[in-house]
Structure 1
Amino acid sequence: MTKVQNKSSILIDKLNTKTATIGVVGLGYVGLPLAVEKAKAGFTVIGFDVQEEKVQMVNEGKNYIGDVIQEDLESLVKTEKLKATADYTFIRDVDAVAICVPTPLDIYKQPNMKYIESSAKAIAEYITTGTLVVLESTTYPGTTEELIKPILEKRGLIIGKDIFLAYSPERVDPGNKQFKTKNTPKVVGGVTENCTKVAAAMYRAVLDGDVHEVSSPKVAEMEKLLENTFRNINIALANEMAILCHKMNIDVWEVIDAAATKPYGFMPFYPGPGLGGHCIPIDPWYLTWKAREYNYHTKLIETAGEINDSMPDFVVQRCAAILNEQGKSVKGSTILVLGVAYKKDIDDYRESPVLPILERLTLAGSEWEVADPYVPVFKLNGELIQTIELTKERLQAADLVVIATNHSNFDYELINNHANFLLDTRNTNQDFTKVKYIKL
């Protein structure tokens, strides 16, 4: 047995017997659920985060992520299967580490790699031989090999021999009742064949979902972008159909429901006030940015992004038209917006299309309020804004009520009984018979 095989075999054996210690860098919407699942699988897990508040909350067993069960976190911390720290010297103690940090865009819609780069440098400083490093953050094809690999190799470590490096994209869908971290299939691509085998072994020891091995990190990085670009483009088509159907006085949701009866060749996507979350509105721009390196212009992707980005304007135009029918203007009118989270039944409002809607309503001079049972406080242009309780009085006082996020626990009977005019951007599918009801 060669030394290369020996190091990989030793680590795979540790993973198979759950004797490995696993690190997770970044304890947000992706990292904390992953850390919890790894600890529940029997591993000792160390979570790393630069935010002391998150570290303290984890170590106190206090959950702050919707997809994590509070009792699970408390039990894992109590039994010392999971702990958190801001001290990266503990990287020395881990056998494998996953990087789950944000990959935002800058104001020019170009990838901001500072979180990945700083994480890789911190890991490189303290990593020991025989350790696996897996990047999970969504990013452009080439990140693992072009950015992380050189940082690790500056220590004189040889990838595939001294340490193992792979990419495995996160597939978190906040609020999804059926698919969680535990049962969602995983894609893994290593820099070398040994890297792939070791990374796949780790996920097979943790997850119930299938682990699909691909030939390289670039393939895994690209497939993640394909997933979200596919959704981005198809949602853009649904949004454009919604605009056209409105002009033609056709119910777009009835059209989609009819098309969905076809058992092949069609998959239903639905319009809305725009795209939100940290994936679908952002990920396609990584690909657009990287394509320029190859002198290629991603026309379809960029057009889809423009359509989806225009939906908040369309919503405000619809608000103006509805108010105009009442002999009112947006300026001075009271608009009650229901929901600021980017999708139903979650507390995440990152990149929510409701935020630009509120910005446009502010510019138009509207007096608006937001009700959201999942989001007590949100930030808009640096200002913290408290959401309100949905009451009969507030519904009656509003010139227009807008359903921007169709949370299940909104009191739709109350809305039906006391709202004056209702614009539904989500086809909430409730029995609105008493209120003047308008679909997007």
Structure 2
Amino acid sequence: MPADLAVIGLGPLGLPLAQAAVAAGIPTLGYRTGPETGSLTAAELRRMLARGFRPTGNPAELGRVRTAVICAPTPQGADGALDLTQVESAARTLARRLRPHTTVILQSPVPPGTTDAFLRPLLEEGSGLRAGRDFHLAYSPSRVDPGNRRFGAANTPKVIGGLTPACTESAAAFYGRLTDKVVRARGVREAETVQVLETNYRQVNIALVNEMAVLCHDLGVDLWDVIRCAETKPFGFQAFRPGPGVGGHAVPQDLAGPTGRTLRMVELAQQVNSRMPRYVVQRAAALLNEHGKSARGARILLLGVTYKPDLADQQGAPAHEIALRLMELGASVSYHDPHVPAWSVLDRPIPRADSLYEAVADADLTILLQQHRTYDLQGLSVKAQLLLDTRGATPAGAAHRL
């Protein structure tokens, strides 16, 4: 069966798009750009295959589709900038097979200006075609939220910005098959900057509430009660909650574009959030000390080592740094996570607790890092000698909260 759509990049951005496309009846092929992993289960992948999804390693097939969406990952490099290596590789592979009238959409997180100044020349040079005349070129923020049961592809509005008005309309026509609402940006750069704003909005607000967590602990104030009360305000406030760090695939950008202008607020937010794993370890050591125990030699159990509840994805999860810092203090660290059968930190295997309640009872300190739905937090708090809850998920008074 010929495919209408090629999804280039089968990671956490590409697989959900392919899933939504085949659910909408669009024959879709998937082309992998690297060692990517997504959050779909084996059963979901089987359903996709049955509905018309076809993974391929043959780049020639990319020239037989009407729409190609580049979803290659753009991880943060050592210098803090987004690494566009896989986007470049995807563009060069696609360009050699690009046909006239194809719609090409970039959906990877990128700095503003990337679609026009970086992607367009690669596609034009490799194909001999001109964007906006021979083929359509557009950008769309990904807006993927793995594990969200309320909002998926169909009811999450899709923002589109094209190189030309015709490019915008062509991309909007495609996404209109997947979602209830398409929002047209003024142009490509505006659409790219939507991604920057949405990602940084999350980062900055989490940083604010993380700083509030540290302040409230020092003041002896119950932050979780503060948030509960504050979120009753019907305007001007959106509740965010603190945690042991910020994980996920959406990399905050402190550069507003190729000009290198710094977003100072985002820089500060990254500094605050990057300190949270260290703060969790400090709180853990202080709790042990208050109960006559030392971190050195203490048995510490980490509950939930993924970056989101009820998913296996560990991208950017703060559990890695927390475990490493605890081991540096001399603690004996183990973990439990129903979604992670084996876990290593710096190539050092971390023992997994087979019997959860026995492990909690045996540990000098249990630290809840992720509140998976399968955890009975009331029951665990009764069993634990000491429980540090970094998510505010336990019943009031049942644990020491962040």
Residue 70 of structure 1 pairs with residue 53 of structure 2:
no
Rounded to whole Å, the distance in 2 between the matches of 1:117 and 1:339 is 35
Q: Which amino acid aligns with 2:160?
A: V
Rounded to whole Å, the distance in 2 between the matches of 1:408 and 1:284 is 31
Match of 1:26 in 2: 9
Residues 58-103 of structure 1 show CA distances to partners (whole Å, capped at 9, x for unaligned) of xxxxxx85456825x4344235x21011111111111111011110
Match of 1:42 in 2: 25
Residues 174-219 of structure 1 show CA distances to partners (whole Å, capped at 9, x for unaligned) of 1111011232110000111111010000000222x31001121111
Match of 1:14 in 2: none
Match of 2:77 among 102, 106, 109: 106
Residues 228-251 of structure 1 show CA distances to partners (whole Å, capped at 9, x for unaligned) of 111111111101011010100001
Match of 2:388 in 1: 423
Rounded to whole Å, the distance in 2 between the matches of 1:414 and 1:404 is 17
Residue 395 of structure 1 pairs with residue 367 of structure 2:
no
Residues 355-381 of structure 1 show CA distances to partners (whole Å, capped at 9, x for unaligned) of 111111121111111101112223422
Residue 299 of structure 1 pairs with residue 264 of structure 2:
yes
Rounded to whole Å, the distance in 2 between the matches of 1:284 and 1:86 is 32
8 Å CA contact 1:39–1:82 kept in 2: the answer is yes
Match of 1:362 in 2: 327
Q: 1:239 to 1:390 in 2, by over 3 A?
A: farther
Q: Give the match's secondary structure for 1:267.
A: coil
Residue 284 of structure 1 pairs with residue 256 of structure 2:
no
Q: Which amino acid aligns with 1:360?
A: R
Match of 1:162 in 2: 134
Match of 1:132 in 2: 103
Rounded to whole Å, the distance in 2 between the matches of 1:139 and 1:371 is 35
8 Å CA contact 2:10–2:38 kept in 1: the answer is no
Match of 1:407 in 2: 372
8 Å CA contact 1:33–1:68 kept in 2: the answer is no
Q: Give the match's secondary structure for 2:343.
A: strand
8 Å CA contact 2:3–2:29 kept in 1: the answer is no
Q: Which amino acid aligns with 1:162?
A: D
Tell me the CA shift for residue 389 of structure 1.
Answer: 2.7
Match of 2:161 among 173, 179, 189: 189
Q: Which amino acid aligns with 1:439?
A: R
Q: Give the match's secondary structure for 1:268.
A: coil
Residue 201 of structure 1 pairs with residue 166 of structure 2:
no
Match of 1:8 in 2: none
8 Å CA contact 2:81–2:253 kept in 1: the answer is no
Q: Which amino acid aligns with 2:401?
A: K
Worse-matched range after superposition: 246-255 or 20-29: 20-29
TM-score, structure 1 normalization: 0.86
Residues 242-277 of structure 1 show CA distances to partners (whole Å, capped at 9, x for unaligned) of 101010000111111111222212111111111011
Residue 262 of structure 1 pairs with residue 233 of structure 2:
yes
Match of 1:85 among 46, 56, 81: 56
Q: Which amino acid aligns with 2:106?
A: L
Rounded to whole Å, the distance in 1 between the matches of 2:349 and 2:384 is 27
The structure in which a higher percent of residues are helix is: 1
Match of 1:142 in 2: 113
Q: Which amino acid aligns with 2:46?
A: E
Tell me the CA shift for residue 284 of structure 1.
Answer: 2.4
Q: Give the match's secondary structure for 2:308.
A: coil
Q: Which amino acid aligns with 2:27?
A: T
Tell me the CA shift for residue 383 of structure 1.
Answer: 4.3
Q: 1:34 to 1:357 in 2, by over 3 A?
A: same
Q: Give the match's secondary structure for 2:253.
A: helix
Match of 1:330 among 286, 291, 295: 295
Rounded to whole Å, the distance in 2 between the matches of 1:176 and 1:314 is 28
Q: Give the match's secondary structure for 2:111.
A: coil
Q: Give the match's secondary structure for 1:126.
A: coil
Residues 315-365 of structure 1 show CA distances to partners (whole Å, capped at 9, x for unaligned) of 000001001012222111110010101121111110001111111112111
Q: Give the match's secondary structure for 2:62.
A: helix
Q: Percent identity?
A: 38
Rounded to whole Å, the distance in 2 between the matches of 1:82 and 1:206 is 15
8 Å CA contact 1:139–1:221 kept in 2: the answer is yes
Q: Give the match's secondary structure for 1:284.
A: coil
Q: Which amino acid aligns with 1:169?
A: P
Rounded to whole Å, the distance in 1 between the matches of 2:352 and 2:110 is 33
Tell me the CA shift for residue 130 of structure 1.
Answer: 1.1
Q: 1:160 to 1:386 in 2, by over 3 A?
A: farther
Tell me the CA shift for residue 45 of structure 1.
Answer: 0.9
8 Å CA contact 1:51–1:86 kept in 2: the answer is no
Rounded to whole Å, the distance in 2 between the matches of 1:40 and 1:337 is 38
8 Å CA contact 1:46–1:84 kept in 2: the answer is yes
Q: 1:432 to 1:67 in 2, by over 3 A?
A: farther
Rounded to whole Å, the distance in 2 between the matches of 1:265 and 1:411 is 34
8 Å CA contact 2:300–2:331 kept in 1: the answer is yes
Question: Where does the alignment leave 5 or more consecutive residues of structure 2 unmatched?
Answer: none
Tell me the CA shift for residue 301 of structure 1.
Answer: 1.0
Question: Where does the alignment leave 5 or more consecutive residues of structure 1 unmatched?
Answer: 1-18, 55-63
8 Å CA contact 2:138–2:162 kept in 1: the answer is yes
8 Å CA contact 2:160–2:185 kept in 1: the answer is yes
